């Protein structure tokens, strides 16, 4: 029976462990932390990610959670709509819904599946302090991957995009909750139902790298307190706020493997969150790698071009959202006109991403 060692117990690492174990591999996962990841907030699992989860036997369990419903879209800070999309139309087009799930919930589902398939999970084990045996080594060690630096020492590291982010989860307020992103002058706020009467919120804005506020909730109210409700109320209700500078790999790696070592997820192609595809691409990586575990050049060929395209599209959306002044006003007008001319224009643009199949 072939042996694989996976470095990192995030979404991509655990998904790879499950996918390999289902194909008869003996798998060990090494994780630096003393416990499974329970930080973070919500993440989107789009139709392409759900198809990958189907391969892992977890698609139905995730689909049982709350899906996006009703009208979603982009608003201005005063609450008027720039463009709107119907979630039912999106599900009809792609055959599957988009699910927003708490990151810790998805991690636990993957960990339970890994255990059920006999995967050994070693916590509190930094890879640099451990022997890493196996016929295959999967590096899923994230944005600042030590394995990537070792395999590709000449490749540029993560680049700061000029934008920082805040994420938090709060109880759902009474009344109607519009699911939307609000685009202001270089800043964005998103509001999404998370299920269990919880709401996931995120915000991004330009800031110097490494900057922190003594009181992040007060900082959010300072920046977004004049925006439309329920944004100020949701921010006032936040008790635990995660602030993270947004970094990505601006220059794609030429390949995702060397010898018997394969890179996966953020270690291979860290992208901006603007399309909500980070976890989905890691899930795609995992099932593709398991199918090509004996042919790593084949894995690289399939995944390097695919993820470079998705990352570039996400970066473009990020730059569009970051426009300020007259450029932002022109952007909003153009998006409104386009939405009126073709209500399905946004959905058509997502075809190459959401229509992926294992």
pLDDT in tens, 212-223: 999 999 999 999
Q: What percent of the chain has pLDDT over 90?
A: 75
Gap between the Cα atoms of 297 and 299, Å rounded: 5
Instruction: Indicate whether 340 pLDDT > 80.
Output: no
Q: Looking at residue 70, what is its pLDDT?
A: 67
Instruction: Indicate whether 3 pLDDT > 90.
Output: yes
Instruction: Indicate whether 38 pLDDT > 80.
Output: no
Mean pLDDT of 205-217: 96
Q: Looking at residue 37, what is its pLDDT?
A: 73
Instruction: Indicate whether 111 pLDDT > 90.
Output: yes
What does the block give as tokens for 348? 């058509």
Q: Looking at residue 129, what is its pLDDT?
A: 61
Q: Looking at residue 71, what is its pLDDT?
A: 73
Q: Looking at residue 270, what is its pLDDT?
A: 97
Q: Which helix (H) or strand (E) holds 205?
A: strand 198-206
Query: In this predicted model, what pLDDT tens digit does every residue of 271-300 receive, in sequence order?
Result: 999 999 999 999 999 999 999 999 999 999
Instruction: Indicate whether 175 pLDDT > 90.
Output: no
Return the C-alpha torsion angle 201, 161, 40, 312, nearest 10: 90
Query: In this predicted model, what pLDDT tens digit does every residue of 132-151 receive, in sequence order?
Result: 778 999 999 999 999 999 99
Q: Looking at residue 39, what is its pLDDT?
A: 67
Instruction: Indicate whether 268 pLDDT > 90.
Output: yes
Instruction: Indicate whether 66 pLDDT > 90.
Output: no
Of the listed ranges 184-188, 195-199, 235-239, the one predicted with least confidence: 195-199
Helix (H, G, I), strand (E, B) or coil at 136: strand
What domains, with CATH codes, occur in the chain?
Answer: 3-67+100-158+249-322 (3.50.50.60)
For the chain, the first-to-last Cα distance in angstroms comes to 24
What does the block give as tokens for 243? 């602030």
Contact 247, 160 (CB under 8 A): yes
Contact 284, 49 (CB under 8 A): yes
Mean pLDDT of 257-276: 96
Residue keyed to tokens 């890994």: 114
């Amino acid at each position: 029976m072939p042996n694989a060692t996976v470095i990192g117990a995030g979404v991509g690492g655990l998904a790879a462990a499950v996918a390999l174990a289902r194909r008869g591999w003996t798998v060990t996962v090494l994780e630096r932390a003393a416990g499974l990841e329970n930080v973070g907030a919500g993440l989107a699992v789009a139709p392409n990610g759900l198809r990958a989860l189907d391969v892992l036997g977890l698609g139905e369990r995730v689909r049982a959670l709350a899906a996006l419903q009703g009208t979603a879209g982009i608003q201005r800070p005063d609450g008027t709509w720039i463009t709107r999309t119907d979630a039912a139309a999106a599900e009809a087009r792609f055959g599957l819904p988009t699910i927003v799930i708490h990151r810790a919930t998805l991690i636990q589902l993957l960990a339970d599946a890994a255990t059920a398939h006999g995967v050994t999970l070693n916590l509190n084990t930094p890879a640099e302090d451990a022997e890493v045996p196996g016929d295959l080594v999967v590096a899923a060690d994230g944005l600042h991957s030590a394995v990537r630096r070792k395999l590709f020492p000449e490749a540029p590291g993560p680049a700061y995009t000029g934008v920082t982010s805040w994420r938090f989860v709060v109880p759902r307020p009474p009344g109607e909750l519009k699911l939307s992103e609000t685009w202001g002058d270089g800043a964005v706020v998103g509001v999404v139902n998370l299920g269990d009467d919880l709401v996931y919120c995120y915000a991004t804005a330009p800031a110097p790298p490494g900057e922190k506020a003594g009181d992040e909730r007060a900082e959010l109210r300072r920046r977004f307190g004049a925006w439309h409700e329920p944004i100020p109320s949701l921010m006032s209700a936040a008790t635990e706020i995660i602030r993270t500078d947004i970094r990505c790999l601006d220059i794609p790696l030429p390949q995702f493997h060397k010898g018997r070592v394969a890179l996966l997820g953020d270690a291979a192609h860290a992208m901006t969150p603007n399309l909500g595809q980070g976890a989905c691409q890691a899930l795609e990586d995992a099932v593709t790698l398991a199918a090509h575990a004996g042919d790593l050049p084949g894995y690289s060929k399939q995944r390097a071009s695919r993820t470079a395209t998705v990352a570039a599209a996400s970066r473009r959306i990020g730059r569009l959202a970051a426009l300020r002044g007259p450029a932002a006003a022109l952007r909003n007008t153009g998006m409104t006109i386009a939405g009126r001319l073709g209500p399905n224009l946004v959905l058509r643009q997502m075809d190459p991403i959401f229509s992926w199949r294992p």
